[in-house]
Structure 1
Amino acid sequence: MEFASDHFAIVHILNQYWLTLLLVISMVLISRTFVAGTRYSPILIIVVFGLIMGYIMVGTGLATPGLPEFPIVELTSRVTITALMASFFVGGQEIRKLFANQKIDPEDMVVPSSQELFLGTKATQFMFLIRGFFILTGIEALRRMVTGYTTGEPLDQFYPLLGYIGLVASIILIDHRAKITNKAVYIRKGIYETAVIILVLTAAFHIASWIRPFIALPEIFFAMIISVGLGMFMVRWQFGPTIKSLLFAGIPIVLAANFMVGGSRIAEAFALTGMTSVLSFGFFGQLLWMFGGLAILILLGNANHIRNLAPGMAGSLSHSGLTGACTAGDLGPQAAIRAPIMINIPFIGHIFVFSILAASATAGKLLIPYTLAVVMAGLVLTFFALKILRGGVGEEQSEIRGLMIFSLGWQLVAVFGGLFLLDISGMPLADAVMANASAISHFGLFAAIQEGMFGAEAAGMIAFVFAMPFLVHPLVFGIFGKAAENDGIMPAKTVYFLALLGVVGVLYSMFF
């Protein structure tokens, strides 16, 4: 009987694995089909399908909130750090090129196939999606095994099997239609990249554990620092299949899984006290910080072009959806090249973000003097960034430098300005951090909350709270899509109106 029980457990886990692959990849493919032929990003559709899928699974009795019956979905939703590490590495490379005054012109040893397998998805892109899923789940399973992470569930004993399947599949899934200058070298590059990611994640875990008695900085902070450093050191590294897959498919896959988990908690969340205020601030805060930042760049920075606006706002908000759209190439080649730089620069500010938040979590309240000091520093940096942008219109180096400073400055204003507003309204710290993380779609705060930095309840609810403001994303990506179709120029009056609506909505959510 014990043998039969073990046998069925293995079959069940494998069935779960293939089912999760089908659900997540089909969700991304359908989203790409919806926006095929346009300049809009598929991420705005992923949120809708993900929330509906999670809600239906619970509503039909197939699962319960949080989807504990689907442990591979939960595993896939927790690979945020891995999905971002490729962007951190590329950002380090681009920063080194910028400071060395080298032309930002990434080399490539692969010519993608132009054959379209699905509407809106070419053959090489499809292989990136499939391989991305195997890379993310394989690395996460091995990371948990190496670090001794356990959930207390039967899934724990299958980490070696899942890691083996994921990594082996990720090695062999190379698009034969693509033109590769040296396939053997390309495959080896993928193996090296995967091995380094596992080593960096393990190092980040141990460093975070060592310093936790002094300050509870999350793993993503150290993973970012190491990845950026490697990128700056290995500036001539041509991307292998692992980095390519994560840049194209990493964030969409993570978001699809997270939105499924978030959708499963819809009914549960609305029954919690204070959740309405959290969700309303997240929704209107998205309008305030996104369109407020765009309005400032357009009105005061004279930077109304998608090559500036998309990477600038992706970096200044550490915005998961916009970051995914940029790195996947949905918003043009210039945005794809600039975005990794802007995504990395604000993480310098995360020294303050996570340090102050960790100290605040220990104290049980927001540390106001430090918060106001960081907000003032952010405003000063934003002022200088706008000055540089105004004086360097059309000059690539000046635009990039201005956007780098803006990304850091506006990040500090948005993170600590939002937390200060919520503290004034009397919202508890854990709820305030969830609300502000969702208001700016900030993947760093999301990962930190998901790791348990603000307690188990916040860790369980963040997927839902983070997902709900994505319902604003039809506006966000609609505006960027409109700009892409209008030679990169964004409709300024619409941006100003939405920013004003965000201000009114945030004030309402704070006091009513």
Structure 2
Amino acid sequence: MDILEQITHLQLLNQFWLILFFLIPMVLIARTVVAGSRYSPILIIVIFGLTMGYVLVASGVASPGLVEFPFVDLMARTTIIALTVSFFVGGQELRKILGNKDLEGEDIVVPSNEEVVLGTTRTQFFFILRSFFLLLGMEGLLRFILDNNSTSIFSSYYPLIAYIGLVISVILIDNRAQIKNKHLYIRKGLVEIAAIVMILLISYYVAQVIGEFIALPQIFYAMMISAALGAILYKWSFGPTIRALLFAGIPVVLAANFMVGGSRIGDAFNISGMNAVLTYGFFGQLLWMFGGITLIIFFSKTANTRNLAPGMAGALSHSGLTGACTAGDFGKTAAQRAPIMINIPFFGHVFVFSVLAISAERGSLWMAPALFIVGVGVILTVLSLRNLRLASGEDKKEVKALMQFSFGWQIIAVFGGLSLLSLSTMSIEYAAMAQTSAISHFGLFAAIQGEMFGTDAALLIPFIFSMPFLVHPLVFFMFGKAMENNGDMPKMPVYILALIGVLGVLFSIIAL
């Protein structure tokens, strides 16, 4: 073994420990900061992640994009793995709701409530660690299978990365949690890992084949397959893999993405037209988030987080709210409803991604179908607000009304925003990135990250997607205040923030 190989092996080991000590403490510290309050740790993860990425570059340790830390980029690209789990759970919940099936069976696991870090119980700590190794292992395995021709210095190490990640994740189960059937629980975890990998492989190859006719991204097919599987296996009780990824998958992915985004802060501001993208992203977040909440509060006469949190998580496919809801930060009801609401808009993404794919080829928004889709969204949103008002707190009626709202408001937000931006001089690539940022849309983020709008957009999107962190403190502060007030959101601040969003978006469009 020559000296170069030894250095490469040592570098691989260093990369592994670096990313472990970057991401896990970030999630734990975030949970510690909000311990004892009703605020979501996602808020702190956003700030810490961006700051860490910026400091690494400012101190000269890394360059923009963190190319010196390839494992961070590897982890940042596991978005689709975390979402696949949410789609599966959403498929289960949809089947239960639509089929009138009430399956609140006895849980085979009773988690340990012993705190190992302030704000994090022992079982939650194991979920965070397990999520890290699951994401690392499955991404390594998928890259080994799909990227055999990769020129990355670590490409030959993908089997080892997969082995380390998956083997360690299997044994990372809290020994103090009360598990009725340990062998069954472990087997469930293995089956879930195999199922997620198969879904992602099938969705990748389907996207490649159908891509010759219509360029729908892999995440669309992953959603369809996993949601369908969830509907079929609606009786499946979660094993350790789904439990861990539901609780900590999205926070870990966001931490990695915000690090990459933070590393590009200084670099990206020098790019022509970037200030316009960021300005729209900031005010757009206020408009689409608090505008949607305003509609629900004003017309549906409900201000409770059981409706607002999952409703807006689904209506915007909002990364931060999705992670907070599935982690249980906004209560059990929101956690159960969120996967349903996340799934519903994706059934309409066959139109969303189709129009965007054609728009990318045209170099401008395909206006006629975009405006038609906005019209459909308006009708669905009006209908949903009426149905939510008439639900009178009944669970199934509220869920069905929120499903309509999630679908309607999402297509208004996506195509309404893109239609507004088409009135400016902004290119379709920048417009897509701006709108993705303005609603923190996980699906569009994954599609752009997958080079739907080219390589340059794929490199810039982690930074642009990260920048609404300036608004996220307001978002999570408002939801935190609601949780401290028995779940009821303060109305007047919401109306004011929505108005600021409207004025800000109009100003940014006129300025362009």
TM-score after normalising by structure 2: 0.99
- Tell me if structure 1 keeps the 8 A contact 2:203–2:218: yes
- What's 1:194 paired with? 193
- What's 1:453 paired with? 452
Shift of 1:4: 3.1
3-state SS of 2:134 partner: helix
- What's 1:105 paired with? 104
User: Aligned partners of 1:303, 1:222: CA distance in 2, in Å?
Assistant: 34
User: Aligned partners of 2:223, 2:361: CA distance in 1, in Å?
Assistant: 23
Shift of 1:390: 1.0
- What's 1:238 paired with? 237
1:37-66 alpha-carbon deviations (Å, 9 max, x no partner)? 011000001111111111111111111000
- Tell me if structure 2 keeps the 8 A contact 1:107–1:238: no
1:258-297 alpha-carbon deviations (Å, 9 max, x no partner)? 0000011011100000000000110110000000000000
User: Aligned partners of 2:72, 2:371: CA distance in 1, in Å?
Assistant: 39
- What's 1:348 paired with? 347
- What's 2:157 paired with? 158
Shift of 1:377: 0.3
- Tell me if structure 2 keeps the 8 A contact 1:94–1:104: no
- Unaligned segments of structure 2, at least 5 residues: none
User: Aligned partners of 1:104, 1:509: CA distance in 2, in Å?
Assistant: 49
User: Aligned partners of 1:43, 1:149: CA distance in 2, in Å?
Assistant: 35
% identity of equivalent residues: 58
1:480-499 alpha-carbon deviations (Å, 9 max, x no partner)? 11111111111111100000
- Kindly provide the amino acid, as one letter, of the partner of residue 220 in structure 2: F
1:94-127 alpha-carbon deviations (Å, 9 max, x no partner)? 0000011123636521111010000100000000
User: Aligned partners of 1:264, 1:489: CA distance in 2, in Å?
Assistant: 37
- What's 2:121 paired with? 122
- Kindly provide the amino acid, as one letter, of the partner of residue 294 in structure 2: A
3-state SS of 1:117 partner: strand
- What's 2:429 paired with? 430
User: Aligned partners of 1:109, 1:281: CA distance in 2, in Å?
Assistant: 47
- What's 1:58 paired with? 57
- What's 1:30 paired with? 29
- Kindly provide the amino acid, as one letter, of the partner of residue 372 in structure 1: L
User: Aligned partners of 2:285, 2:484: CA distance in 1, in Å?
Assistant: 23
- What's 2:206 paired with? 207
Q: Which moved more, 1:9-18 or 1:176-185?
A: 9-18
Shift of 1:151: 4.4
- Kindly provide the amino acid, as one letter, of the partner of residue 144 in structure 1: R
- What's 2:130 paired with? 131
- Tell me if structure 1 keeps the 8 A contact 2:103–2:235: no
Shift of 1:391: 0.7
- What's 1:257 paired with? 256
- Kindly provide the amino acid, as one letter, of the partner of residue 271 in structure 1: N
- Kindly provide the amino acid, as one letter, of the partner of residue 36 in structure 1: A
User: Aligned partners of 1:149, 1:497: CA distance in 2, in Å?
Assistant: 53
Q: Which moved more, 1:314-323 or 1:210-219?
A: 210-219
- Tell me if structure 2 keeps the 8 A contact 1:77–1:257: yes
Shift of 1:363: 1.4
3-state SS of 1:421 partner: helix
Shift of 1:508: 1.4
- Unaligned segments of structure 1, at least 5 residues: none
Shift of 1:311: 0.3
User: Aligned partners of 2:123, 2:496: CA distance in 1, in Å?
Assistant: 40
- The 1:431–1:199 alpha-carbon spacing in structure 2 relative to 1, beyond 3 Å, is same
3-state SS of 1:154 partner: coil
User: Aligned partners of 2:302, 2:404: CA distance in 1, in Å?
Assistant: 14
- Tell me if structure 2 keeps the 8 A contact 1:379–1:409: yes
- Kindly provide the amino acid, as one letter, of the partner of residue 193 in structure 2: T
User: Aligned partners of 1:506, 1:311: CA distance in 2, in Å?
Assistant: 25
1:122-165 alpha-carbon deviations (Å, 9 max, x no partner)? 00000000000000010011011111265422111110000000
User: Aligned partners of 1:487, 1:151: CA distance in 2, in Å?
Assistant: 52
- What's 1:179 paired with? 178
3-state SS of 1:11 partner: helix
- Kindly provide the amino acid, as one letter, of the partner of residue 352 in structure 1: F
Name the Cα RMSD after superposition: 1.0
The runs of at least 4 consecutive aligned structure 1 residues that moved more than 3 Å come to 104-107
User: Aligned partners of 1:461, 1:266: CA distance in 2, in Å?
Assistant: 10
- Kindly provide the amino acid, as one letter, of the partner of residue 337 in structure 1: Q
1:92-491 alignment, distance < 5 Å: 92-103=91-102, 105=104, 107-148=106-147, 151-491=150-490
User: Aligned partners of 2:500, 2:155: CA distance in 1, in Å?
Assistant: 47
Shift of 1:336: 0.3
